[in-house]
Amino acid sequence: MAVRGNFSSKIGFIAAAAGSAVGLGNIWGFPYETGAGGGAIFVLVYLFFCFALCFPVMLTELAIGRKSGRNAVGAFNALGHKKWNFIGKLGVLSGVLILSFYNVIAGWAFGYTFEMATGNFAIAEQFGDFTTDVFAVGSYGLLFMLCTAFIVSKGISGGIERAAKILMPSLIVMMVSLIIYALFLPNAMTGIEFFLLPDFSKLNLSVVFNAMGQAFFSLSLGMGTFITYGSYISKSDNLVSSAALITLADVGIAIIAGLMIFPLIGFVSGGTLSGVGRGPELIFVTLPYIFGEIGGTTGSIVGMSFFSLLCFAALTSTVSLLEVPVAYVVDEFKISRTKAAWLMSGIVYLIGIPSLLGNGYSSFFTEFITYINATTSTDFLTFIVNIANDSFLPLGGCLMVFFAAHVWKKSNLDAEIAIGFEGYEESFIKKYLGFVVPFLLPATLAVIFMMIVLVTFFGL
Ligand code: PFF
């Protein structure tokens, strides 16, 4: 087999894995889902899912990856269960689909970096015009995809690890500075209250499903990212502490993003919080407005720094999204990493073109499909989000946990987790996994998956 490469250190692995988790999902997705989902109640459900349900899925993926030392599909073969490698294939497909639209949004963030650099704060009111300028936005997306492919082609420690170690800390410093700025603005506290004080009357099934989808997406679970990354880590690493660090980093950055954005919305809306539920355009509208309020060269610098760091956060995620299919073809079809990275990224870019066109430019892709019982149509990008993020990720997570518990067997899962973790046998986490992994977790995920499909596509 070709030389696969490894992370050079535990910290490098954590940075890359947290880099995968932390991305547009935290800074773009989490605030708008929270805004649309009624504020703090959404946050509460989301936190519950992250720790109670997603954390065991992450551990399972890491254990399968490290034990097998293979990609998301090959892992199942290496463990002696080739019949089950369809789970990995579903993961590869999810990775390709998610990257195809994710890159479009990363392209927006990339474009905004230039808009801020030239002081075009008026873009806050022209977001619709911006996304329909498909040649500009498509070029930004293309550049973004080229960067992703370049890093992935450089392999694990040289590319992925090195980029993540520098970019992640810069992002945190930038966001915390913006929080401090935001908290001193008038009406900031109305935003903070919305974000932190739950209103239980707003709890409903769609809040639960969206929080679940958001947790899976944000933690990069259910498509074999952590099987793939787990295959590059050393036997002496403690998988439980690694998974805990990754989860905490991811949740932490989402909360930081919320603490940054909601006070700003409080300020912009004069305390009424109007527009908080506006959806995917939320940060692309609110933030440039604020940077315009700061104004002048300072506003430009702050705006440019923010969107460039958002691009970096997205880049460590796109790298992991591309790594899943690339590792698959490198391992299984013996294609060189460089060739695989360029080839795959080209295919994914093409698949993303309808998502690019479906934001107002082409009415066919903008009004792509009307689900059963729905009154309005759904654009192509949202359609892919509904299929890949909302449906495939929970389904993939469900199948992986089921596989680990009943096909590979729970005792093997335990044995792998115990390596690098002295005292695992008597630990609380072993008892917890014993409680959830065999039945409760796969059953819950299966029910959630079915409900999501019924509600989203059949309007039940
Ligand atoms: N977790 C990333 C984010 O929050 O932006 C998105 C993502 C990356 C999802 C990698 C899935 C994945 F495999």
CATH number of the CATH domain containing 92:
1.10.4160.10
**94 domain-assigned:** yes
pLDDT of residue 10: 77
Ligand 1 mean position, distance from CA 319 (Å):
10
- Rounded Cα distance between 207 and 193, Å, is 18
Say yes or no: CB of residue 224 within 6 Å of ligand 1.
no
- Rounded Cα distance between 374 and 54, Å, is 30
Residue type at position 316: T
Question: How confident is the model over 257-308, as pLDDT tens digits?
Answer: 999 999 999 998 999 998 888 888 889 998 898 889 888 998 999 899 889 8
Ligand 1 mean position, distance from CA 217 (Å):
5
The preferred substitution site among 98, 255, 310, 311 for testing ligand 1, maximizing ligand atoms within 8 Å of CB, is: 98
**269 domain-assigned:** yes
pLDDT of residue 281: 87
| Cα within 13 Å of Cα(122), Cβ side | 3
pLDDT of residue 2: 44
Q: Transcribe 61-89 into DSSP letters.
A: HHHHHHHHTS-TTHHHHHTT-GGGGHHHH
User: In which domain, by residue range, is 304 found?
Assistant: 10-458
Tokens describing residue 235: 């036997």
CA-CA distances (angstroms) from residue 235 to 65, 343, 416?
11, 32, 9
Say yes or no: CB of residue 217 within 6 Å of ligand 1.
yes
pLDDT of residue 47: 97
CA-CA distances (angstroms) from residue 319 to 20, 86, 130?
7, 23, 25
The 10 Å Cβ neighbour count of residue 122 is: 11
The preferred substitution site among 71, 148, 317, 322 for testing ligand 1, maximizing ligand atoms within 8 Å of CB, is: 317
**246 domain-assigned:** yes
pLDDT of residue 11: 78
Say yes or no: CB of residue 214 within 6 Å of ligand 1.
no
pLDDT of residue 4: 60
**89 domain-assigned:** yes
Tokens describing residue 383: 């359609």
pLDDT of residue 99: 98
Say yes or no: CB of residue 254 within 6 Å of ligand 1.
no
Ligand 1 mean position, distance from CA 317 (Å):
5
Tokens describing residue 330: 């490198």
**1 domain-assigned:** no
Contact 365, 142 (CB under 8 A): no
* Number of folded domains that form the chain: 1
Ligand 1 mean position, distance from CA 272 (Å):
32
Say yes or no: CB of residue 20 within 6 Å of ligand 1.
yes
Contact 6, 156 (CB under 8 A): yes
Question: How confident is the model over 413-450, as pLDDT tens digits?
Answer: 999 999 999 999 999 999 999 999 999 999 999 999 99
pLDDT < 50 regions, the chain: 1-2
pLDDT of residue 5: 65
Ligand 1 mean position, distance from CA 184 (Å):
32
**2 domain-assigned:** no
**96 domain-assigned:** yes
pTM here is 0.93
Sign of CA dihedral 326, 220, 242, 61: negative
**5 domain-assigned:** no
Name the helix (H) or strand (E) containing 424. Answer: none
